[in-house]
Structure 1
Amino acid sequence: MEKFIEYILQFGNLNKQQIELITSKGTELKLGKDEYYWEAGKIVKQIGFLIEGVIRVSYYNNTGEEITRYFIDENHLILSGNSIDEVYTPSEYLSAITSCKLIIFSKKDWKEINETIIGWETILQKITTKYHKEKIARRGEMVAQDATTRYLDFIDKFPTLINRVPLSFIASYLGITQSSLSRIRKKIR
């Protein structure tokens, strides 16, 4: 829970009672490798914060091919939907690539935190804005890059993931085949 509180405090101030409220509502969840945090078509009933591990966000395209959209690593908040009251049924899968540890909050408890802590929405807005900027920057650059540049950019932006994520997932994220990624890796060594 300490990591979550430290993370939140980067975006706003909390007093001792507010921290105690948050701490009392969060519980730890462990996911084994390949376990789902959430699945497409199933209502999401919790908010999570990834303390350890890597989660992959993926979906199936219209030809049934599994596509990696992005990766979530440590110190990231996993929100569900645009508002606390929204019933969120994702079209994507979030699965553990490695063993993961999360702090989770039920939507009911998250709503209570939101209603009790003045400024909580502002903190969440800052976090959400930061995430969206990062996602847009990553995806925007990839569109104009060739495969080798995309891979080099991936290494630069995600140095901690390169040895933790299977090459097939990296290739999918980069929009190339695994054999193309192997050729690129041989060239740049």
Structure 2
Amino acid sequence: MTEYLKSFKLFSDEEINEFLRLSRTRRLKKGDYYITQNEICDSLSFVKNGIFRSFYYSNKDDEITYCFTFPNNLLMAYSSFISESKSEENIQSLTDAEIISISKEDLEPLTESNRNWLSFLKIIAEKEYVELEKWIFNHQKDKAQQRYLDLINKQPEYIQEIPLHYIASYLGITQRHLSRIRANIS
């Protein structure tokens, strides 16, 4: 977490230590939920280790995986976090995981007393927007095989830990189609 915060080039060691003092470490087992639909996301978390998937239920009650979160990334139900409204998504740990979390209640005084934390939250908001835009564009213009290759190239060390039916859902294809793609690129 310290290295992640330092990468923004905003914070002094003292500011990072204050953040860490207000944070807590939480361990989740494979299958545990970080948040479920209709809960309010009241914390910002950093994935120290583990893999998470974000999903929602379609009108037909099918689980639609739309995001994976890997180590050294932030984890939250972002729209619920900023709006303080019930989440439309579920975030589940796909592996045993360890996260570092700070509650919104503890984060707000930092943002009120230090503009660096406001800048940090602004950067996070911008990154979330860019990632959402990329996801939309990629799902509209790239074929499933290209999206699969992109996922493999970005996270080769973790991809084997994600069940294939979640990858297929993420790509918007059937498991059978994913099997054909995997056979073609092998």
Scaled by the length of structure 2, the TM-score of the pair is 0.90
1:80–1:88 contact (8 Å) kept in structure 2: no
- Offset of residue 156 of structure 1: 2.3
In structure 2, what is the equivalent of residue 12 of structure 1? 9
- Offset of residue 85 of structure 1: 7.1
- Offset of residue 119 of structure 1: 1.8
Structure 2 residues without counterparts, runs of 5 or longer: none
- Offset of residue 56 of structure 1: 0.2
In structure 2, what is the equivalent of residue 70 of structure 1? 67
The one-letter amino acid of 2:91's match is: L
- Offset of residue 77 of structure 1: 1.6
- Offset of residue 122 of structure 1: 0.6
Q: Deviations over 1:120-146 (max 9, x none)?
A: 111221133123223322331232222
Indicate whether 1:144 and 2:141 are aligned: yes
In structure 1, what is the equivalent of residue 89 of structure 2? 92
In structure 1, what is the equivalent of residue 26 of structure 2? 29
Indicate whether 1:125 and 2:122 are aligned: yes
The one-letter amino acid of 1:136's match is: E
- Offset of residue 152 of structure 1: 2.1
Residues 84/157 of structure 1: CA separation in 2 closer, same or farther (3 Å cut): closer
Normalized per residue, the structure richer in helix is: 2
Residues 172/82 of structure 1: CA separation in 2 closer, same or farther (3 Å cut): closer
| Alignment RMSD (CA, Å) | 2.0
Separation in 1, partners of 2:11, 2:50: 27
Bigger CA drift: 90-99 or 10-19? Answer: 10-19
Structure 1 residues without counterparts, runs of 5 or longer: none
Percent of aligned positions that are identical: 32
Scaled by the length of structure 1, the TM-score of the pair is 0.89
Q: 1:58 aligns with which of 42, 55, 79?
A: 55
Indicate whether 1:154 and 2:154 are aligned: no
1:43–1:87 contact (8 Å) kept in structure 2: yes
- Offset of residue 104 of structure 1: 0.8
1:84–1:110 contact (8 Å) kept in structure 2: no
Q: 1:111 aligns with which of 104, 108, 130?
A: 108
Q: 1:163 aligns with which of 160, 164, 168?
A: 160
1:11–1:127 contact (8 Å) kept in structure 2: no
Separation in 2, partners of 1:31, 1:18: 27
Count of matched residue pairs: 186
Residues 178/81 of structure 1: CA separation in 2 closer, same or farther (3 Å cut): closer
Separation in 1, partners of 2:80, 2:129: 16
